[in-house]
Amino acid sequence: MGASDWQSLDKGSELHGQTRVMTAERLRWYGDGLLTSSAGAPTEVGINIHTDDAYAQAEGLPAAIADGMLGANWLAEMLLDYFGEYYLTTSRLRVKFIKPVFVGQQMSPRGVVSEVIREEERSIFQIELSLTDEEGTPRTVGEASVTVPNPATA
Partner 1 sequence: MLDGYISDLEKGDVFRPTEFEVTSLMATQYAHGVEQTHEFFHSANNSLSRQVRPITAVHADKMKLLDANCLKEQRITGGRGPDWRIHFEHDAESIEPVFVGDTIRVSGRIADRYWKRGREYLLYEIEVHHADGRLLIRYRDRTLLRYRKNEETE
Contact residues for partner 1, defined by CB under 8 A: 3, 20, 26, 29-43, 46, 48-49, 55, 59-61, 67-70, 72-74, 76-77, 80, 84-85, 87-97
- Shortest distance, CB of residue 17 to partner 1, whole angstroms? 11
Cα separation, 43 vs 37, in Å, equals: 9
Element (DSSP H or E) covering residue 84: none
- Shortest distance, CB of residue 134 to partner 1, whole angstroms? 19
Cβ proximity to partner 1: between 9 and 66 the closer is: 66
Give the three-class secondary structure for 58.
Answer: helix
Cα separation, 86 vs 84, in Å, equals: 5
Cβ proximity to partner 1: between 40 and 151 the closer is: 40
- Shortest distance, CB of residue 126 to partner 1, whole angstroms? 13
Cβ proximity to partner 1: between 9 and 49 the closer is: 49
DSSP state of 132: E
- Shortest distance, CB of residue 116 to partner 1, whole angstroms? 19
115, 76 Cβ separation under 8 angstroms = no
Cβ proximity to partner 1: between 11 and 94 the closer is: 94
Dihedral over Cα of 149, 119, 82, 50: its sign: positive
Give the three-class secondary structure for 70.
Answer: helix
